Amino acid sequence: MNRREFVSAAASGALAMGTIPRPLVAYDGTLERIATQKWIHLGIVQPYEAWAELRRTDYPELPPDQLGGRLLERTVRIVYPSTEVTNNSQSYEAVRAKDTPTTRVWWDVK
């Protein structure tokens, strides 16, 4: 058996053992599982990307945010950094009232 045959056999064996006996991770025709797994992974290594994926796919479906029993609005955008306020104060004044984490951006139509 040459290297290519060995790698192919090992990969097909790993695929068979890794997905078929595990129905909880088997593809079931929806993208919900893929999006949820991607969100979990990105949440550990790239939290901003995980947040973007959650907004893009709406998966996973998370419970409402609460603080002390009070419902909170979900963050839908990242506010301008302090450097923008310092370096571009004249233009920033025009949008200061809308610079909140819960103000939707122009392309967010949900």
Hey, which bits of 41-100 come out as E strands? Answer: 66-67, 70-71
Which residue, among 62, 66, 65, 24, has the nearest Cα to 40 in the 3D structure? 62
Calculate Rg over the CA atoms of the chain. Answer: 22
CA distances to 11, 25, 75 from 5, in Å: 10, 27, 50
pLDDT tens-digit profile of 66-76?
Answer: 888 888 888 88
Predicted structure pTM score: 0.56
**H or E stretch including 67?**
strand 66-67
> In this structure, are residues 85 and 78 in contact, taking their beta carbons and an 8 Å threshold?
no
Res 92 pLDDT > 90: yes
Tell me the pLDDT tens digit for each residue of 16-41. 555 455 666 666 767 888 888 889 88
The gap from C-alpha 83 to its chain's centroid, in whole angstroms, comes to 26
Query: Comparing 8 with 26, which gets the higher pLDDT?
Result: 26
